[in-house]
Amino acid sequence: MTPTSAQDIRDAAALLAPATDVTILGHVRPDADALGSALALGRALRQRGARVRVSFGEPDEAPETLRWLDEDGLLTHPDDLPDTDALLVCVDTPVPKRLGRLAGRVEPAGAVLVIDHHATNTRYGTCNVVDESAEASAVLVFRILEAMGAELDEPIARGIYAGIVTDTSGFRRASPETHRMAARLLEAGVDAEAVVRRIVDERPFAWLPMLSSVLREAELEPEAARGKGFVHAVVRADAARTVRAEEVESVIDVVRSVREAAVAAVLKQDLANPGQWQISLRSKGVDVSVVAAGFGGGGHRQAAGCTIAGTASEVLAGLRAALERAPLL
């Protein structure tokens, strides 16, 4: 950790330590890093006597695979949030737009703490803990809690572990420091097997026919993405309606495994607006954060996302063109 980021951690801890009323937000369609980090931080603040709410813009309910992380009932529907926030914490969210319908809460808040590890973060907070080298926002939350002297009990450790294990693809991209951090989380009582099984491994039977129908139409373009290969699949609304949102999100992890392609994309048709597609991008050799940013999205160099309007064919054509211009890693 650089001296600057060490000071950022201390500043964040100093801001949070005396807080009595806090709203913590994750990005829309929250993953384990956003929600696990928010709930871990929320529980630690609640134990210090603060009133805490954890929320996100959409959907109306947390993914079923993540609800069990909420030991304290901190999850709050957007309609039940107060009119304004004395202290607003935005976790794993690089730009206010990623808060969806809750983006308007940033400007009027008394203070805004941003905790994030995306390279595209615009540092929109009054206090920012932004570190692209951190493998997960949960890593930064751990450091802040450590600076606060917060007790690392099992539910807090579980939320942080969930964020780290998922954002590092099962620790495949974790540094030695992060492995040491994980050891401390396990020592706090985290059941690693249960976390991975409940969040990553377990799927309902309906996932299999959905996946079969999607992969049947997957395509490989060996010469695309500057000759590094591009594989893509489309999840249409009819298929998406047969499973939970987390099953749809998991398709990219299957498609990305294709050896012959450096870039993988999954187009997910918006159930409420069939003319829009949520795009998941993964890469082993092309900077897909630049591609996503070109369409108003963002993310990491090797994992990014955006939303694009049009037909599936038009969206794929736009992605192909953007990949030809994207920097190589």
Tokens read off for 123? 């540092």
Q: How far is CA 317 from CA 138, 164, 310, 323, in A?
A: 35, 34, 10, 10
The whole-angstrom distance between residue 274's C-alpha and the CA centroid of its chain comes to 23
Residue 106 near residue 127 (C-beta atoms within 8 A): no
pTM: 0.93
- Are 24 and 118 contained in the same domain? yes
- 329 falls within a domain: no
- Are 220 and 166 contained in the same domain? no
Give residue 81's pLDDT.
98
Q: How far apart are CA 67 and CA 292, in angstroms?
A: 29
Q: How far apart are CA 174 and CA 7, in angstroms?
A: 23
The SS3 call for residue 110 is coil
Give residue 122's pLDDT.
94
- Are 235 and 156 contained in the same domain? no
- 1 falls within a domain: no
Work out the number of other CB atoms within 10 angstroms of the CB of residue 80: 8
- At residue 314 the predicted structure's pLDDT band, cuts being 50, 70 and 90, is very high
- 97 falls within a domain: yes
| DSSP-assigned letters across all residues of 164-188 | HHHHTTTTTT--HHHHHHHHHHHHT
- Are 51 and 144 contained in the same domain? yes
Q: What type of residue is 191?
A: D
Contacts of 272 (CB under 8 A, 6+ apart): none
- Are 150 and 245 contained in the same domain? no
> Parallel, antiparallel, or unpaired for β 230-235 and 219-221?
antiparallel
Tokens read off for 55? 């929320």
Q: Which of 201, 235, 268 delimits the end of a domain?
A: 201
Domain that holds residue 248: 206-324
Q: How far apart are CA 48 and CA 42, in angstroms?
A: 10
Per-residue pLDDT, averaged over 289-308, amounts to 93
Q: Which of 178, 201, 224 delimits the end of a domain?
A: 201
Through-space distance between the first and last CA atoms of the chain, rounded to whole angstroms:
23
Residue 315 near residue 308 (C-beta atoms within 8 A): yes
Give residue 135's pLDDT.
96
Give residue 3's pLDDT.
62
- Are 224 and 154 contained in the same domain? no
Give residue 120's pLDDT.
87
Residue 18 near residue 153 (C-beta atoms within 8 A): no
- Are 238 and 180 contained in the same domain? no
Task: Output the furthest CA–CA distance in the chain (Å, rounded).
Answer: 58
The CATH number given to whatever domain includes residue 248 is: 3.10.310.30
The chain-wide mean pLDDT, for the chain, equals: 96
Work out the number of other CB atoms within 10 angstroms of the CB of residue 25: 31
Q: Which of 201, 218, 234 delimits the end of a domain?
A: 201
Residue 299 near residue 305 (C-beta atoms within 8 A): yes
Tokens read off for 323? 């990949």
Give residue 5's pLDDT.
82
Q: How far is CA 177 from CA 207, 261, 312, 324, in A?
A: 36, 31, 42, 36
User: Does the pLDDT at position 1 exceed 60?
Assistant: no
pLDDT in tens, 101-132: 999 999 999 999 999 999 889 999 999 999 99
pLDDT in tens, 242-298: 999 999 999 999 999 999 999 999 999 999 999 999 999 999 999 999 999 999 988
- Are 97 and 230 contained in the same domain? no
pLDDT in tens, 16-61: 999 999 999 999 999 999 999 999 999 999 999 999 999 999 999 9
- 22 falls within a domain: yes
- Are 163 and 29 contained in the same domain? yes
- Are 29 and 112 contained in the same domain? yes
User: Does the pLDDT at position 4 exceed 90?
Assistant: no
- 238 falls within a domain: yes
Residue 106 near residue 199 (C-beta atoms within 8 A): no
The CATH number given to whatever domain includes residue 77 is: 3.90.1640.10
- Alpha-carbon dihedral angle through residues 25, 119, 186, 39, given to the nearest 10 degrees: 0
| Domain count along the chain | 2
Work out the number of other CB atoms within 10 angstroms of the CB of residue 322: 20
